[in-house]
Structure 1
Amino acid sequence: MIEYTLNGPASQERARIRLMSALRENRFPQAILIDGPAGIGKKRLAMEIAKALQCTDPNMRPCGHCFGCRMADDSGATDGWVVPMESAEAHARSSDDVSAGSKAKTVEDFKKAYIEEIQKNPYRVDVFSTGAFISVDLMRMMTSSFAMKGDRVRTVIIAEADRMNESAANAFLKTLEEVPPDTYFILTTNSREKMLQTIRSRCLALHLLPLSDEEVKSEVLRVAGEDFDESSLTDDVIGLAVGSPGKALYYAEHAKVWCKLAADFVVHSLRGNYTDLFMELSETSLSDAYEANRFLEVLSFLLADLLREQAGARLRMPETTTSVGLANFPRVDATALELALVAVQETMSRIESRRVTATMSLQSLSLKLFEGYK
Structure 2
Amino acid sequence: MIEYRLNGPVSQERQRIRVMAALRECRFPQAILIDGPGGIGKKALAMEIAKALQCTDPNVRPCGKCFGCKMAMDPGATDNWVLPMESKEAHARSADEVSAGSVAKTVQDFKQAYIEEIVKNPYRIDVFGAGAEISVDLVRNMTGSFALKGDRVRVVIIAEADRMNDSAANAFLKTLEEVPPDTYFVLTTSSRESLLQTIRSRCLALHLLPLTDAEVRSETLRVLGDDEDSELSDDVVGLAVGSPGKALYYMNRAAPWCKLAADFVVYSLRNEYSEAFASLAEASLEDAAEANRFLEVLSFLLSDLLRKQAHAPLRLASTTGALDMDAFPRVDASALELALSAVQETMTRIASRRSAPMVCLQSLSIKLFEGFK
Output the CA distance in 1 between the equivalents of 2:257 and 2:299.
12
Cα offsets for 1:161-217 (capped at 9, x unmatched): 000000000000000000100000000000101110000000000000000111001
Q: Which residue of 2 aligns with 1:155?
A: 155
Output the CA distance in 1 between the equivalents of 2:268 and 2:222.
40
Q: Which residue of 2 aligns with 1:221?
A: 221
Q: How does 1:70-89 map to 2 (within 5 A)?
A: 70-89=70-89
Q: How does 1:360-371 map to 2 (within 5 A)?
A: 360-371=359-370
Q: Which residue of 2 aligns with 1:275?
A: 274
CA drift of 1:230 comes to 2.2
CA drift of 1:96 comes to 1.1
Gap regions ≥5 residues in structure 2:
none
Q: Which residue of 1 aligns with 2:325?
A: 326
Residue aligned with 1:328, SS? coil
Most deviating of 110-119 and 267-276: 267-276
TM-score by length of structure 1 reads 0.99
Contact residue 220 and residue 249 of structure 1 kept, 8 A: yes
Most deviating of 127-136 and 317-326: 317-326
CA drift of 1:327 comes to 2.0
Q: Which residue of 1 aligns with 2:246?
A: 247
**What amino acid does structure 1 have at the position aligned with 2:46?**
A
TM-score by length of structure 2 reads 0.99
Output the CA distance in 2 between the equivalents of 1:60 and 1:24.
11
CA drift of 1:259 comes to 0.3
Output the CA distance in 2 between the equivalents of 1:147 and 1:347.
48
Q: Which residue of 2 aligns with 1:100?
A: 100
Q: Which residue of 1 aligns with 2:46?
A: 46
Cα offsets for 1:229-253 (capped at 9, x unmatched): 3212111110110000000011111
Contact residue 221 and residue 228 of structure 2 kept, 8 A: no
Count matched residues.
373
Contact residue 53 and residue 155 of structure 2 kept, 8 A: yes
Q: How does 1:7-18 map to 2 (within 5 A)?
A: 7-18=7-18
Gap regions ≥5 residues in structure 1:
none
Give runs of ≥4 in structure 1 deviating > 4 Å.
Answer: none
**What amino acid does structure 2 have at the position aligned with 1:250?**
Y
Q: Which residue of 2 aligns with 1:127?
A: 127
Percent sequence identity over aligned pairs: 76
Output the CA distance in 2 between the equivalents of 1:45 and 1:224.
19
Output the CA distance in 1 between the equivalents of 2:86 and 2:270.
43
CA drift of 1:148 comes to 0.3
CA drift of 1:323 comes to 2.0
CA drift of 1:69 comes to 0.6
Contact residue 216 and residue 238 of structure 1 kept, 8 A: yes
**What amino acid does structure 1 have at the position aligned with 2:210?**
P
Output the CA distance in 2 between the equivalents of 1:328 and 1:221.
39
Q: Which residue of 1 aligns with 2:30?
A: 30
**What amino acid does structure 1 have at the position aligned with 2:42?**
K
Output the CA distance in 2 between the equivalents of 1:309 and 1:96.
61
Residue aligned with 2:253, SS? helix
**What amino acid does structure 2 have at the position aligned with 1:368?**
K
